[in-house]
Amino acid sequence: MPEISRFYGIVVKMYYNDYQPPHFHAEYSGDQMLVNLNTRAVIAGRLSPRATGLVMEWAAQHQAELQDVWDQARNMAPLDRIDPLP
């Protein structure tokens, strides 16, 4: 699964041609969660509260870019990288 961003030990990935609803995968310290792109609701899994907060802050800052990368993945195109949290 292609990595689209990495910050504070959190790795954000997206699968090519993944199922609906649009979402991304966040991994941290052996745990994983799936986050809906539109609502930023956790679909499955869980990270620590601190890591979850960082992921949600990052997703809020990059919502339009995340949708663009989702569209790229659905079209089997190379995925753009998204800037990490500063």
Per-residue tens of pLDDT for the chain, all 86 residues: 699 999 999 999 999 988 899 999 999 999 999 999 999 999 999 999 999 999 999 999 999 999 999 999 999 999 999 999 98
Distance CA 72, CA 15 (A): 10
Domain ranges of the chain: 3-72
Dihedrals phi, psi of 27, to nearest 5 degrees: -125, 140
CB burial string 64-80: b at 16+ within 10 A, e below: ebbeebbebbeeeeebe
Dihedrals phi, psi of 46, to nearest 5 degrees: -165, 150
Whole-model pTM?
Answer: 0.94
